[in-house]
């Protein structure tokens, strides 16, 4: 993780990774120490020889006693996160492979499977499932964003409203 | 180069209530700000006090920071104001704007002046830190030394460094990190920080 | 910040990533697979298996003189469905419900813009190496193996046509090296001429008889929820509040991905009509973990080992507005 701190301070992490890392080091004393140390090294290399071990802790404890500043949310609702999301998703499909998933409806609930699959081309008969699990709705929504679904534009089919006529079949 | 986005990310978090994000900014800019203020304030103990005040003021003023300028530029202006007000409150003369030139303050290297920045009890440690950093740097393999120098002193991006050193970006990342860690390892015992429990 | 486009340009200028040659070969194959899927004409039948379910589909893919991608996917079992895609626009025909769904897949292009940078990101967390050769659907294939470097993700075995690089078979293996999912062509023709008429929809979705739904692209925004811990390489790629069919209130949906697989985090306010129960469950290759956090139920699911969804699920918290 410290190599990421090194990257972070050089501004070389992409926005999403930076966000995650910043969240993490805000909370954890060890990476905070590395952050502090790496900056000390940089400053020292640039000739800023100043040592005041009490300064930062003092500021920190005084701020802890301050009321939290909360800036009003400014700017459009679609924030940096949106830009990260889009650019990362576009490149998500990087290793997307052809038709990783076939067209299908929501997955049925069922016992945990250790799949022993017949060779491709010999379909395995299916038990008649009941489509009631709350998780199924999530599974469908998830599939849409999985990079392995990024191929083939399958999501609209998968996200389809339940097939009323078919009911429990598939 | 990339500083602005990092600082902005930390400011955003601080503005949403994450005080420790602000601590990270303090950690990053404390020396730079202190050196700046030492142009106005000679006494090392006062330098520390005024620098602290400046950070507190900046924290309180965070809601008004819009991101139009870089965080350090904004912090820097708050620092100057804090120092001026401090001097005025003591009845001392505040430097006029001609005496104080922003760029000059940033880059000014006055060895004699710098010696006064540390309090006497911190002066020794400060020298030891500088010595350790320089010694370790000197003992690093050439490619690690170049990488960290290009990054920290020339301020180049990984991309540019990769170009100059004719190696992939991943190698640049790794060299800079290894150089930092090599120096950090020598500094940790000196500073008494905990290095166990790595992630 | 690193901009992916800039990185890609940079990669064009410097020598390839210094990985050992076998891994380098494997990575080249991954790139070929993406590129072939995007640029080759092909037509065939494939089977997708997960757990007990098996789906057979037919696919036709064609690139016209203008470089436009046209593609048709038809289901060969289960409810009749057909998807016609032209570049970003996807039209899904469901004759059983007389429903036509139209969507513009911006940012999630079906055929990837393969940045070398992203492939090398996968190489950071998977050992990429060449396997031997295999014959699939009458095609001579090169096997490429992706072994996870940690136990937070599953392994993959890919088989690509040696001539074009098109992926013809892919298997995902769980921690016990059991197959959890498999995709495979049973018959395919790669390259050659395809009559664009084959890509027309079979159903004339006559207005009046058919209902047309235009799906608006999702609005990505910060939701105030954050995820402190995720396995190395998993980055947030999407975050939004959305309506999920089947759920009452709006649900927060965050997706993390390592470039190969994704993990979704869903957060719904408690009190809805059918919130998932907390705990673990599994659906074929997908592990699910749910736990309550601040008046909400957090559900994490993905094509990963249990430890991954658990790690992520345990680190979700509300941090903002």
- Residue-wise pLDDT for C300-311, tens only, equals 999 899 999 999
CA torsion through residues C46, C39, C101, A83, sign: positive
**Residue A115 belongs to some domain of the structure:** no
Q: What is the pLDDT of residues A62-115, one digit of tens each?
A: 998 887 776 655 443 333 333 333 222 222 222 222 223 222 233 333 333 323
pLDDT at A36 over 90: yes
Q: Are C183 and C170 in contact (CB under 8 A)?
A: yes
Nearest CA in chain C to A121: C186
Helix (H) or strand (E) holding C167: strand C167-173
State the Cα–Cα distance between residues B72 and B175, nearest whole angstrom.
Answer: 27
| Full pLDDT tens readout for chain B, 199 residues | 367 778 988 898 888 888 888 999 999 999 999 988 988 888 888 999 999 999 999 998 888 887 778 898 889 889 988 988 888 888 776 555 444 444 444 444 444 444 568 888 898 899 999 999 999 999 999 999 999 999 998 888 898 899 889 999 999 999 999 999 999 999 999 998 655 433 2
C56 shares its domain with C146: yes
pLDDT score for C106 = 52
Question: Which residues neighbour B92 within 8 Å (Cβ) at sequence distance 6 or greater?
Answer: none
Which tops the pLDDT comparison, C41 or B109? Answer: C41
DSSP state of C305: -
State the Cα–Cα distance between residues A153 and C183, nearest whole angstrom.
Answer: 16
C312 shares its domain with C282: yes
Start-to-end C-alpha separation, chain A: 45
The CATH number given to whatever domain includes residue A21 is 1.10.10
Q: What's phi and psi for B195, nearest 5 deg?
A: -120, 5
A26 shares its domain with A95: no
Q: How far is CA B80 from CA B56, B86, B100, B101, C232, in A?
A: 14, 10, 10, 11, 42
**What radius of gyration, in Å, describes the C-alpha atoms of chain C?**
21
Which of B109, B143, B177 is the last residue before a domain boundary?
A: B109
B104 shares its domain with B133: no
Chain A interface test: which of B7, B9, B171 (most A C-beta within 10 Å): B9
Q: How confident is the model at residue C298 (pLDDT cuts 50, 70, 90)?
A: very high
- Chain A contact present for B70, CB below 8 A: no
Which of C213, C246, C277 is the last residue before a domain boundary?
A: C213
Number of structural domains found in chain B: 2
State the Cα–Cα distance between residues C99 and C209, nearest whole angstrom.
Answer: 9
B102 shares its domain with B24: yes
B98 shares its domain with B181: no
Which tops the pLDDT comparison, C219 or A45? Answer: A45
- A20-29, B131-140, C44-53: range with highest mean pLDDT: B131-140
pLDDT at A131 over 90: no
pTM above 0.80, yes or no: no
A13 shares its domain with A59: yes
Cβ within 8 Å of C, A 56-115: 73, 77-79, 81-82, 84-105, 107-110, 112-115
C199 shares its domain with C251: no
**Residue A143 belongs to some domain of the structure:** yes
Q: Is the ipTM of this complex over 0.95?
A: no
Q: Which domain holds residue A148?
A: 91-109+128-170
Query: b/e string for B138-157 if b means 16 or more Cβ within 10 A?
Result: eebeeebbbbbbbbbeeebb
Contacts with B127 from chain A: Cβ below 8 Å: 49
pLDDT score for C237 = 77
The CATH number given to whatever domain includes residue C310 is 3.30.200.100
Q: What secondary structure does DSSP assign to chain A, as a single string?
A: -HHHHHHHHTT-S-HHHHHHHHHHHHH-HHHHHHHHHHHHHHHHHTT-----TTHHHHHHHHHHHSPPP-PPP-S-SS-HHHHHHHHHHHHHGGG--TTSS-S--PPPP-S-----PPPTTSPPP-PPP----HHHHHHHHHHHHSTTTTGGG-HHHHTPPP-TTTTT--
pLDDT score for A78 = 33
Closest CB to B5 among C1, C7, C320? C1
Number of structural domains found in chain C: 2
pLDDT at C171 over 80: yes
Q: Select from A144, A154, A159 the least CA-distant residue to C213.
A: A159
- Chain B contact present for C6, CB below 8 A: yes
**Residue C282 belongs to some domain of the structure:** yes
Q: Are A86 and A115 in contact (CB under 8 A)?
A: no
Counting Cβ atoms within 10 Å, is residue A76 exposed (0-12), middle (13-18) or buried (19+)?
exposed
Q: Which domain holds residue B75?
A: 1-109
- Chain C contact present for A6, CB below 8 A: no
Q: What is the pLDDT of residues C86-104, one digit of tens each?
A: 887 888 888 888 888 887 7
State the Cα–Cα distance between residues C131 and C50, nearest whole angstrom.
Answer: 23
**Residue C3 belongs to some domain of the structure:** no
Q: Do A23 and B31 count as a contact with CB atoms less than 8 A apart?
A: no
CA angle A67/A73/A78 to nearest 5° reads 150
Q: Do C264 and A138 count as a contact with CB atoms less than 8 A apart?
A: yes
What subunits touch chain B, counting only 3 or more CB pairs under 8 A? Answer: A, C
Contacts with A11 from chain B: Cβ below 8 Å: 1-6, 157
CB count, 10 Å around CB of B124? 11
Q: Which domain holds residue C269?
A: 218-318
- Per the prediction, chain C carries an average pLDDT of 79
Q: Select from C116, C129, C110, C170 the least CA-distant residue to C303.
A: C170
Q: How confident is the model at residue C282 (pLDDT cuts 50, 70, 90)?
A: confident
């Amino acid at each position: 993780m410290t190599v990421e701190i090194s990257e972070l301070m050089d501004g070389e992490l992409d926005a999403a990774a930076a966000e995650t890392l910043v969240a993490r080091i805000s909370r954890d004393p060890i990476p905070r120490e590395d952050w502090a140390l790496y900056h000390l090294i940089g400053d020292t290399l640039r000739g800023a020889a100043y040592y005041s071990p009490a300064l930062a802790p003092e500021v920190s404890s005084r701020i802890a006693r301050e009321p939290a500043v909360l800036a009003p949310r400014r700017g459009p609702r679609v924030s940096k996160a949106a830009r990260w999301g889009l650019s990362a998703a576009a490149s998500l499909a990087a290793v997307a492979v052809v038709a990783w998933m076939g067209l299908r409806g929501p997955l049925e609930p069922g016992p945990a499977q250790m799949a022993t699959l017949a060779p491709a081309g010999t379909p395995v008969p299916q038990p008649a499932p009941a489509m009631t699990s709350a998780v199924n709705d999530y599974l469908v929504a998830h599939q849409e964003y999985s990079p392995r679904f990024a191929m083939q534009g399958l999501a609209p089919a998968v996200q389809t409203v339940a097939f009323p006529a078919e009911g429990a079949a598939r | 180069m990339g500083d602005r986005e990092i600082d902005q990310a930390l400011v955003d978090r601080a503005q949403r209530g994450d005080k420790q994000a602000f601590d990270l900014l303090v950690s990053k800019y404390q020396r730079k700000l202190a050196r700046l203020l030492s142009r106005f304030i000679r006494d090392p103990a006062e330098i520390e006090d005024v620098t602290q005040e400046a950070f507190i003021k900046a924290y309180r003023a965070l809601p008004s920071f819009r991101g139009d300028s870089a965080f350090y530029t904004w912090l820097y202006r708050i620092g100057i104001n804090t120092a001026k007000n401090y001097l005025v409150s003591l009845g001392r003369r505040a430097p006029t704007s001609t005496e104080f030139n922003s760029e000059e303050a940033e880059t000014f290297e006055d060895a004699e002046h710098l010696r006064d920045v540390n309090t006497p009890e911190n002066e020794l440690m400060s020298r030891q830190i500088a010595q350790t950093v320089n010694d370790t740097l000197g003992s690093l393999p050439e490619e690690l030394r170049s990488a960290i120098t290009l990054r920290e002193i020339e301020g180049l991006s990984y991309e540019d460094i990769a170009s100059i050193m004719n190696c992939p970006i991943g190698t640049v990342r790794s060299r800079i990190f290894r150089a930092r860690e090599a120096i950090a390892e020598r500094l940790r015992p000196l500073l008494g920080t905990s290095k166990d429990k790595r992630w | 910040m690193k901009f992916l486009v800039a990185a890609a340009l940079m990669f064009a200028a410097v020598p390839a990533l210094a990985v050992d040659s076998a891994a380098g070969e494997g990575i080249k194959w991954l790139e070929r697979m993406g590129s072939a899927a995007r640029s080759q004409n092909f037509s065939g039948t494939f089977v997708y298996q997960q757990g007990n379910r098996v789906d057979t589909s037919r696919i036709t893919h064609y690139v016209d003189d203008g470089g436009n991608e046209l593609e048709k996917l038809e289901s060969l079992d289960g409810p009749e469905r057909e998807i016609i895609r032209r570049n970003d626009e996807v039209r899904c025909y469901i004759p059983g419900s007389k429903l036509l769904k139209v969507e513009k897949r911006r940012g999630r292009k079906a055929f990837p813009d393969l940045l070398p940078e992203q492939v090398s990101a996968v190489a950071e967390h998977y050992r990429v190496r060449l396997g031997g050769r295999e014959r699939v659907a009458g095609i001579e294939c090169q096997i490429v193996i992706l072994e996870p470097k940690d136990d937070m993700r599953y392994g993959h075995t890919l088989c690509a046509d040696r001539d074009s690089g098109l992926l013809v078979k892919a298997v995902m293996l769980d921690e016990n090296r059991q197959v959890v999912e498999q995709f495979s062509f049973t018959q395919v023709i790669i390259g050659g001429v395809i009559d664009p008429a084959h890509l027309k929809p079979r159903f004339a979705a006559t207005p009046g008889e058919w209902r047309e739904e235009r799906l608006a692209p999702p609005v990505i925004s910060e939701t105030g929820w954050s995820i402190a811990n995720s396995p190395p390489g998993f980055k947030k790629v999407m975050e939004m509040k959305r309506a999920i069919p089947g759920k009452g209130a709006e649900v927060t949906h965050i997706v993390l991905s390592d470039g190969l697989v994704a993990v979704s985090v869903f957060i719904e306010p408690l009190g809805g009509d059918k919130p998932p129960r907390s705990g673990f469950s599994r659906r074929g290759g997908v592990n699910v973990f749910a736990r309550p956090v601040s008046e909400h139920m957090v559900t994490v699911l993905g094509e990963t080992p249990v430890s991954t969804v658990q790690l992520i699920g345990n680190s979700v918290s509300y941090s903002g507005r």
